[in-house]
Amino acid sequence: MDKEHILETMARAIVAGERSQAQELANQAVRLGLDLLEVIEKGYAPGLKEVGELWEKGEYFLPELISSAESMKAAMAVLEPELRRARIDAPSKGKIVIGTVEGDIHDIGKNLVASMLQAHGFEVHDLGVDVKPERFIARALEVKADFLCLSALLTTTMLGQRRLVEMLRAENLDRRFRVLVGGAPVTQKWADEIGADGYAENALEAVRLAERLRERSVG
């Protein structure tokens, strides 16, 4: 198999959600001594991009999205240690602290967002569910996070998102981290109202939002 063909197969493995194939191709790339950064950017990443397009067209739903993300993670589990060994920085797009707010124990949506962000090259610290604002802030400071992602599935627990934004402001940390909010009852209007930096409707939009904000701050 030549390189072009390998890269194309990688993309297809991600689109098809073939976890073991995606991982096997990563092993193959290591054995053949391919440029691993190129493998990520030209092999796997285009696959993820196509998954996003399929999601938008309505052809992909949660099961497909998750198996693609899982396939990506499986490939990265092979590639990342190799990159570290070669002292090459894995291409991290930024650090994310994510969790479901206090009083709320829903986690499927939040897990999906975390998974997609990770698949797209973000370093993700998932604090789980029912997370107090103090814990969010402490971890964000500890890992020097770029983003705080807050999930809330109930209109009653959404208020936890506001509380965190207010706390950041009170502690003069609101410029240090960007706050992104999401969850079934959450809207752009709510995000604006509480002074969050962004809102995403679904996992893929969350990735795009984070990428966009990241570029803006880097550029």
Partner 1 sequence: MTWTVKILSHGRTVAVRKKQVLSDVLRQAGVPISLYCNKRGLCGKCFVEIKRGKLPPLGEKERSWLVAKGLSPNYRLSCQYEVASDLEVRVPSAFTVQEIPILPSIMRSFIRPDPAIRKYYLELRRPDIRTPESLLEILLDGLGGVRLGIQPAVLRKLEEAMAKGDSKVTAVVHREREILALEPGYTVGRSFGLAIDVGTTTLVMELVDLDSGKTLDMEAAINQQVKRGADVVSRISYCYENSEHAAELQSLVLETLNSMIGRLLARSRIDRESVYEAVIAGNTVMTHLLLEIPVRSLARAPYEAVFSRLPELHGSDLGLNIHPQAKIYFSPNIMSFVGGDIAAGLLASRLARKRGRFLFLDLGTNGEIVLRAGGRIVTSSTAAGPAFEGMNISCGLPALPGAIFKIRDEGEIRIETLGDSTPRGICGTGLIDAIAVFLARGEISRSGIVRNPARQIRIRENIVLTQEDVRQMQLACAAIKTGIRILLEQNRLSVEDLDGIYIAGAFGNYLNIENSMDIGLLPRIDKGRLNFIGNASLAGARQMLLSARERESAEKMVQAARYVSLASEPQFQERFIEALEFAPWP
Question: Rule CB under 8 A: which residues touch partner 1?
Answer: 57-59, 61-64, 66, 102-108, 111, 129-130, 154-157
Q: Using the minimum distance from each CB to partner 1, give the nearer residue, 20 or 156.
A: 156
Q: Using the minimum distance from each CB to partner 1, give the nearer residue, 8 or 64.
A: 64
Tell me, what amino acid is at 120? H
Q: How far is the CB of 107 from partner 1 (least distance, A)?
A: 7
Q: How far is the CB of 90 from partner 1 (least distance, A)?
A: 27
Q: How far is the CB of 126 from partner 1 (least distance, A)?
A: 13
Cα distance between residue 106 and residue 65, in whole Å = 19
Tell me, what amino acid is at 147? F
Cα distance between residue 165 and residue 189, in whole Å = 15
Q: Using the minimum distance from each CB to partner 1, give the nearer residue, 61 or 188.
A: 61
Q: Using the minimum distance from each CB to partner 1, give the nearer residue, 102 or 205.
A: 102
Q: How far is the CB of 190 from partner 1 (least distance, A)?
A: 12
Q: Using the minimum distance from each CB to partner 1, give the nearer residue, 38 or 193.
A: 193
Coil, strand or helix at 72: helix
Q: Are strands 123-126 and 198-199 parallel, antiparallel or unpaired?
A: unpaired
Q: How far is the CB of 202 from partner 1 (least distance, A)?
A: 11
Q: How far is the CB of 108 from partner 1 (least distance, A)?
A: 5
Q: Using the minimum distance from each CB to partner 1, give the nearer residue, 105 or 143.
A: 105
Residue of 27, 111, 96 whose CA lies nearest to 66: 111
Cα distance between residue 57 and residue 22, in whole Å = 24
Coil, strand or helix at 178: strand
Contact between residue 185 and residue 152 where contact means Cβ atoms under 8 Å apart: yes
> CB atoms < 10 A from the CB of 166, how many?
14
Name 131's bridge partners: 101
Coil, strand or helix at 148: strand
